[in-house]
Amino acid sequence: MVITLNKQIISKLTLLIIVIAAASCSSVRVTNESVVEEGVRGVTISKKAPETQAILANATVYFEYDSSRLTSKSIQTLRGLISVLQNNRSLNIVLEGHADERGTREYNLALGQRRAESVAAYLLSNGVSRNQLKTISYGEERPAALGSNNASWAKNRRVEIK
């Protein structure tokens, strides 16, 4: 079997696969292919200056595993916040939900969001204005404590109020 093929110029992003089915006499599969030379261009994002936060209302509340329910201790912490927010209607806070490292990253992102929403719902039901609140989640991406143990996990299942 004779195959003639023009000499190929192999360039960037050339995808050329020629499959020549075995003609006559034999069952040999004959193929010719050129390697794809894929170029890759990287991008760098520079660090953003941190935004100033409302220090007045800083607090953190903690949660049980796979739960977004407020504990009685969390409610105590949040009570102190309500009057601060009601007396300063121009004060805007961010409720930042977090999860521990167990479980999948996307599910934990959703879980962190539920925790932030759970805190928001409590504040709203106690007269805080929705305009003062923003909820976001970092899932398991920003742990407060490192380590794969119960003590670290407990510190990471949280909503940071900023």
Partner 1 sequence: MTKSIISIFVFFSVFSSAELLLEITQGSDNPINLGIYEISSQGNEDTLIKNIIQNDLIRTGEIKFIEGVDIVPLPENDQEFNYSGWKLLGLDYVVIPSIKSPDKNSIEYRYRVFDVSRKREVRSSTVFGLSSNLRQVGHYASDGIYEAITGIEGVASTKLLYVNEISFRDEKSYRLMVSDVDGYNERTLLNSPEPIISPAWSPKGDKVAYVSFETGIANVYIQDLATGDRESVLEQNTQISSPAWSPDGKYLSLTLYQDGNAEIYILRLRDKTLTRLTNHYSIDTEAIWSPRGNKILFTSGRSGSPQLYEISLRGLRSKPKRITFEGTYNAKGSYLPDANGNIFVHRAKSGSFHIALKYKKENFIRILTEARLDESPSVAPNGNMVVYAISEENKAKLAILSLNGARFVLPSSQGVVREPAWSGFVR
To the nearest whole angstrom, how small is the minimum distance from the Cβ of residue 29 to partner 1? 5
Q: Assess contact for 64 and 157: CB atoms under 8 A.
A: yes
- Interface residues with partner 1 (CB under 8 A) are 1, 5, 7-8, 10, 12-13, 17, 26-48, 51, 66, 101-107, 109-111, 113-114, 117, 120, 135-139, 141-142, 146-148
To which H or E segment does residue 135 belong? strand 133-139
CA dihedral of residues 74, 79, 84, 90 (deg, nearest 10)? 70
Identity of the residue, 5 or 55, whose beta carbon is nearer to partner 1 in the bound complex:
5
104 and 70 in contact (C-beta within 8 Å)?
no
Minimum gap (Å) between residue 158 Cβ and partner 1: 17
Closer residue to partner 1 (CB): 15 or 76: 15
Q: At its nearest, how many Å lie between partner 1 and the CB of residue 79?
A: 22
Nearer to partner 1, 20 or 83 (CB): 20
Nearer to partner 1, 76 or 104 (CB): 104
Gyration radius (Cα) of the chain, Å: 29
In the complex, least distance from residue 93 CB atom to partner 1, rounded to whole angstroms: 14
What is the identity of the amino acid at 130?
R
Q: Name which of 87 and 90 has its Cβ closer to partner 1.
A: 90
Distance of closest approach, residue 56 Cβ to partner 1, in angstroms? 20
Residue located via tokens 């976001």? 136
Helix (H) or strand (E) holding 76: helix 72-87
Q: How many CB atoms lie within 10 A of CB 135?
A: 20
Q: What single DSSP character describes residue 94? A: E
